[in-house]
């Protein structure tokens, strides 16, 4: 079998070496003596030490990822942390994608120009930092992280981490791709192994074949409805079964992308022929052939099925299109029941804006199938969509190709406004002129995430997600009550029924080459200086956090007791705040402003226990900090769900938070808190959440903190006797070191990180 091949067409010094991965895996095979699942093969072939403990849900795997990826909002902090730790180089190949900072206002070209005016100092900083650290940079307008990664860097059997929760998109090309916080990224870039609790592995067995209006998106929308937003927590979703071979590579990427919405560590498909075709189409034939040589290692072993921790069955042949939402991605409704559900719930029936694209659904196939619906409507004389329609291509490669092949002009003919190849409304970076804040309205998108306020900052916007085909079809009618499978559209006095969508998964004439999208790092980087303007309100060096004083933490106020969903959007809002990602003090003014206060059901209205006055959360935290008074947050279930946003942890630390005590945590946020030296604790008895109130004071007896040993919390009511509660923590030895040193970065700088 052949020796290594280049990992991509852009880096001359990074390689795929399946033979080496195989030999690491063989060590594990000889130990476990059982057939392996595909996800296990990928993880185990990247072990730093293949003789380490391996127990799902218990052991911490120490892994050597092949790559690291980041975007222009998260990369700022990554570089600032690398600089703060005194590093000058990166030990693992990394790329940065400039996709998050472009605000959607008018249309793509104009918006990109405006964004340059607004973000020049940040993009210049990233350009200089990428050059300094030897990192490849995808320039503004080149495309969205996950699409560009799929087009250029993902490969079967590979392991990548990325500072974005939709990094798992690359599972569509059989890569194990995991969303992490910036702290984990810094570890890997510094040459340390990446540590993660060994996930469980859930199998999703696909049988049959999609037909009619059903799409890959509907597979994951259905799955989200079956397992809920917490259903994948601590697990990898591994797809298997005969239905897998019927899907396109980009369709599988859509499914893996939205695995983030069920809290999965990642999602992954085994290597298939459609992945081979995609690699060839994206000019990576050498990798495609190489993967075929090692194909046995790029799929689960025969007879391994009994090793799944759980199996979920989905029959593609009978799958209906779904629409999920509003306000949560696991509220799944089949299209046949959707109109009735809308009426019963009193959701706004009129679609105010329909949006297609984003990293989830902006492939050539998606755009082609969406355009086929538009073409059908135009053929029947329909002049335009009944509501505003926006189109976000996933990358310049896609945009250029669908411009050449005609899909873009078809979508424009029905009124589609082509936005920049960037996140825009998906991350709330959307200057929405058409809807006053607070007004109830419905939007329908082919995006992935639909928490309140996510897209336009308006908590009254009911955001629904569906396939791009369905979004375009429903935009023609302009109402959520329209079912294109059973209802007719009207043009004048004639009516017609739309044909089911159709379209190729790959362009028959190949993808149209792009130019000026990528900045290659220079060979000689010694004289490059990283640019941080001293008077910037966007960029600020991160000073080290103080080390723990070694004592129990006593008499701490509760900053806020949150209720229900406290997503990372609620802890550190995006939208207009995105621009402060490189300036910790400024962005901290959004701390927890979206969280619901359990005491009064209001947002950003809490009582300052020192003054008794009602105030905003960030301002109150600053007042406690100014008095050297550490505080805690009490959280509900799955605290920090949603994204890898490390500012959600950094801000808590920066403004003086000592601990977050919750019923349960989302995985990435919990790790992020640990990295920043904040204790993440859970109630041993979940119902104790009810016994703690915002006017109580808290002691945490952490002086002798040790692995696997619960901590005692003393709760001191204002009037009444103190009482004790027991708290779990999940810190291992290394993580306790982070807590003691004040942060993982401090431990690394001191050389106590391992």
Supply the residues annotated as catalytic. Answer: 99-100, 164, 449, 643, 645
| Integer Cα distance of 300 and 306 in angstroms | 11
- Contact segment (CB under 6 A) with ligand F3S among 170-178, 421-429, 455-463, 506-514 equals 421-429
Residue among 423, 472, 489, 649 that touches ligand F3S (CB under 6 A): 423
Q: How many residues does the chain have?
A: 754
Cross-sheet strand order for the sheet of 332-334: 332-334, 322-324, 461-465, 441-445, 351-357, 388-392, 416-418
Question: Are residues 324 and 465 in contact, defined by beta-carbon separation less than 8 angstroms?
Answer: yes
Binding mask 337-366 for ligand F3S (x = CB under 6 A): ---------------------xx-------
The nearest distance, CB 666 to ligand F3S, in angstroms, is 16
Q: How far is CA 606 from CA 143, 597, 619, in A?
A: 41, 7, 10
The nearest distance, CB 149 to ligand F3S, in angstroms, is 10
The nearest distance, CB 260 to ligand F3S, in angstroms, is 8
- Contact segment (CB under 6 A) with ligand F3S among 138-146, 262-270, 304-312, 710-718 equals 138-146
Considering the complex, state which of residue 360 and residue 475 has its C-beta at the smaller distance from ligand F3S.
360
Considering the complex, state which of residue 210 and residue 427 has its C-beta at the smaller distance from ligand F3S.
427
Question: What six digits make up the tokens of 45?
Answer: 């072939």
Total residues at the site for ligand F3S (CB under 6 A)? 12
The nearest distance, CB 453 to ligand F3S, in angstroms, is 14
Residues 424-483 binding ligand F3S (CB under 6 A) are 426-427, 448
Considering the complex, state which of residue 448 and residue 607 has its C-beta at the smaller distance from ligand F3S.
448
| Integer Cα distance of 731 and 753 in angstroms | 14
Considering the complex, state which of residue 466 and residue 700 has its C-beta at the smaller distance from ligand F3S.
466
The bridge status of strand 489-491 relative to strand 194-197 is unpaired
- Contact segment (CB under 6 A) with ligand F3S among 74-82, 226-234, 423-431, 602-610 equals 423-431
State phi, psi for 459 to the nearest 5 degrees: -65, -15
Binding mask 279-318 for ligand F3S (x = CB under 6 A): ----------------------------------------
- Backbone region of residue 159 per phi and psi (left: phi > 0; alpha: psi in -120 to 50; beta: other values): beta
Considering the complex, state which of residue 565 and residue 654 has its C-beta at the smaller distance from ligand F3S.
565
- Contact segment (CB under 6 A) with ligand F3S among 106-114, 140-148, 212-220, 667-675 equals 140-148
Question: Are residues 658 and 630 in contact, defined by beta-carbon separation less than 8 angstroms?
Answer: yes
Please give the span between the terminal C-alpha atoms of the chain, in angstroms, as a whole number: 35
613 burial type by CB count under 10 A (0-12 exposed, 13-18 middle, 19+ buried) = exposed
Considering the complex, state which of residue 134 and residue 329 has its C-beta at the smaller distance from ligand F3S.
329
The nearest distance, CB 450 to ligand F3S, in angstroms, is 11
Question: What six digits make up the tokens of 392?
Answer: 């976000």
Query: Is residue 144 involved in binding ligand F3S (CB under 6 A)?
Result: yes
The nearest distance, CB 419 to ligand F3S, in angstroms, is 11
DSSP E strands, 436-529: 441-445, 461-465, 489-491, 494-496, 518-519
- Contact segment (CB under 6 A) with ligand F3S among 104-112, 141-149, 645-653, 735-743 equals 141-149
Q: Which helix (H) or strand (E) element contains residue 322?
A: strand 322-324
Residue with tokens 């997600």: 465
Residues 83-112 binding ligand F3S (CB under 6 A) are 99
The nearest distance, CB 166 to ligand F3S, in angstroms, is 5
| Integer Cα distance of 162 and 71 in angstroms | 9
Q: What is the dihedral angle through the alpha carbons of 341, 342, 344, 347, rounded to the nearest 10 degrees?
A: 140
Query: Is residue 178 involved in binding ligand F3S (CB under 6 A)?
Result: no
The nearest distance, CB 446 to ligand F3S, in angstroms, is 11
- Contact segment (CB under 6 A) with ligand F3S among 61-69, 139-147, 174-182, 668-676 equals 139-147
452 HSE (CA, 13 A, CB side): 15
Considering the complex, state which of residue 358 and residue 568 has its C-beta at the smaller distance from ligand F3S.
358
The nearest distance, CB 41 to ligand F3S, in angstroms, is 27
The nearest distance, CB 182 to ligand F3S, in angstroms, is 15
Question: Are residues 617 and 595 in contact, defined by beta-carbon separation less than 8 angstroms?
Answer: yes
Alpha helices, H only, 102-152: 108-133, 145-152
Considering the complex, state which of residue 131 and residue 144 has its C-beta at the smaller distance from ligand F3S.
144
| Integer Cα distance of 149 and 146 in angstroms | 5
Neighbouring residues of 22: CB distance < 8 A, sequence distance ≥ 6: 45, 294, 297
Considering the complex, state which of residue 423 and residue 652 has its C-beta at the smaller distance from ligand F3S.
423
Residue among 145, 430, 631, 738 that touches ligand F3S (CB under 6 A): 145
Considering the complex, state which of residue 425 and residue 656 has its C-beta at the smaller distance from ligand F3S.
425
Binding mask 590-619 for ligand F3S (x = CB under 6 A): ------------------------------
Cis status, amide bond into 326, omega within 30 of 0: yes
> How many Cβ atoms sit within 10 Å of the Cβ of residue 516?
9
Query: Is residue 164 involved in binding ligand F3S (CB under 6 A)?
Result: yes
DSSP E strands, 349-422: 351-357, 388-392, 416-418
Which residues bind to ligand F3S, rule: CB under 6 A?
99, 144-146, 164, 166, 358-359, 423, 426-427, 448
């Amino acid at each position: 079998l052949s020796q290594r091949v280049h990992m991509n067409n852009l880096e001359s010094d990074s390689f795929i070496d399946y033979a080496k991965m195989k030999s690491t895996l063989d060590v594990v095979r000889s130990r476990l003596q059982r057939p392996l699942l595909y996800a296990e093969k990928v993880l185990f072939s990247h072990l730093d030490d293949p003789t380490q403990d391996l127990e799902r849900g218990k052991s911490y795997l120490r892994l050597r990822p092949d790559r690291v990826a980041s975007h222009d909002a998260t990369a700022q902090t990554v570089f600032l942390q690398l600089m703060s730790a005194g590093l000058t180089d990166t030990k693992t190949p990394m790329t940065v994608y400039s996709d998050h900072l472009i605000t959607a206002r008018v249309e793509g070209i104009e918006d990109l120009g405006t964004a340059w005016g607004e973000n020049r100092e940040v993009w210049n900083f990233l350009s200089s930092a990428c050059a300094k650290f030897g990192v490849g940079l995808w320039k503004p307008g080149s495309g969205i992280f996950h699409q560009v990664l799929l087009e250029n860097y993902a490969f079967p059997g590979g392991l990548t981490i990325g500072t974005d929760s939709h990094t798992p998109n690359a599972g569509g090309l059989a890569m194990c791709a995991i969303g992490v916080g910036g702290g984990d990224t810094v570890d890997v870039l510094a040459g340390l192994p990446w540590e993660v609790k060994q996930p469980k592995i859930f199998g999703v067995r696909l049988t049959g074949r999609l037909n009619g209006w059903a799409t890959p998106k509907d597979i994951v929308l259905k799955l989200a409805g079956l397992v809920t937003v917490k259903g994948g927590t601590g697990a990898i979703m591994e797809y298997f079964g005969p239905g897998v071979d019927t899907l396109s590579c980009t369709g599988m990427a859509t499914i893996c992308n939205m695995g983030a919405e069920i809290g999965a560590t990642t999602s992954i498909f085994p290597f298939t022929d459609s992945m081979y075709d995609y690699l060839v189409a994206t000019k990576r034939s050498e990798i495609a052939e190489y993967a075929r040589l090692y194909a046995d290692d790029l799929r689960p072993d025969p007879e391994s099925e009994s090793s799944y921790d759980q199996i979920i069955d989905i029959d593609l042949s009978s799958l209906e299109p779904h629409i999920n939402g509003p306000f949560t991605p696991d509220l799944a409704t089949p299209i046949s029941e959707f109109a009735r559900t809308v009426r019963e719930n009193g959701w706004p029936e009129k679609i105010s804006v329909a949006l297609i694209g984003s990293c989830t659904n902006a492939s050539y196939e998606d755009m082609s199938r969406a355009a086929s619906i538009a073409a059908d409507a135009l053929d029947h004389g329909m002049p335009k969509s009944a509501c505003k329609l926006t189109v976000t291509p996933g990358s310049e490669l896609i945009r250029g190709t669908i411009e050449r092949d005609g899909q873009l002009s078809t979508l424009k003919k029905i009124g589609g406004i082509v936005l920049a190849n960037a996140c825009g409304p998906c991350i709330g970076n959307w200057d929405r002129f058409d809807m006053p804040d607070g007004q109830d309205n419905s939007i329908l998108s082919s995006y992935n995430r639909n928490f309140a306020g996510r897209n336009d900052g308006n908590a009254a916007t009911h955001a629904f997600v569906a396939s791009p085909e369905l979004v375009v079809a429903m935009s023609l009618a302009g109402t959520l009550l329209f079912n294109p499978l059973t209802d007719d559209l009207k043009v004048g006095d004639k009516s017609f029924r739309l044909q089911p969508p159709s379209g190729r998964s790959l362009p028959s004439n190949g993808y149209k080459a792009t130019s000026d999208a990528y900045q290659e790092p220079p060979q000689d980087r010694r004289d490059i200086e990283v640019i941080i303007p001293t008077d910037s309100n966007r960029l600020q060096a991160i000073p080290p956090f103080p080390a723990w004083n070694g004592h129990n933490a006593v008499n701490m106020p509760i900053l806020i007791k949150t209720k229900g969903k406290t997503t990372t959007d609620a802890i550190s809002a995006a939208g207009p705040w995105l621009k402060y990602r490189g300036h910790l003090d400024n962005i901290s003014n959004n701390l927890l402003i979206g969280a619901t206060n359990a005491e009064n059901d209001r947002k950003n209205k809490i009582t300052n226990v020192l003054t008794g006055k009602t105030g905003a959360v960030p301002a109150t935290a600053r007042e406690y900090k100014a008095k050297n008074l550490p505080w805690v947050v009490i959280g509900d279930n799955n605290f920090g769900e949603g994204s890898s946003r490390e500012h959600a942890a950094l801000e808590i630390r920066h403004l003086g938070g000592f601990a977050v005590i919750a019923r349960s945590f989302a995985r990435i946020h919990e790790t992020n808190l640990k990295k920043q030296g904040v204790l993440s604790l859970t109630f041993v008895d979940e119902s104790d959440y009810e016994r703690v109130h915002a006017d109580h004071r808290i002691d945490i007896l952490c002086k002798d903190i040790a692995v696997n040993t619960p901590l005692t919390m003393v709760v001191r009511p204002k009037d009444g006797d103190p009482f004790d509660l027991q708290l779990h923590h999940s810190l291992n030895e290394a993580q306790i070191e982070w807590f003691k040193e004040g942060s993982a970065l401090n431990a690394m700088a001191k050389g106590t990180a391992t």
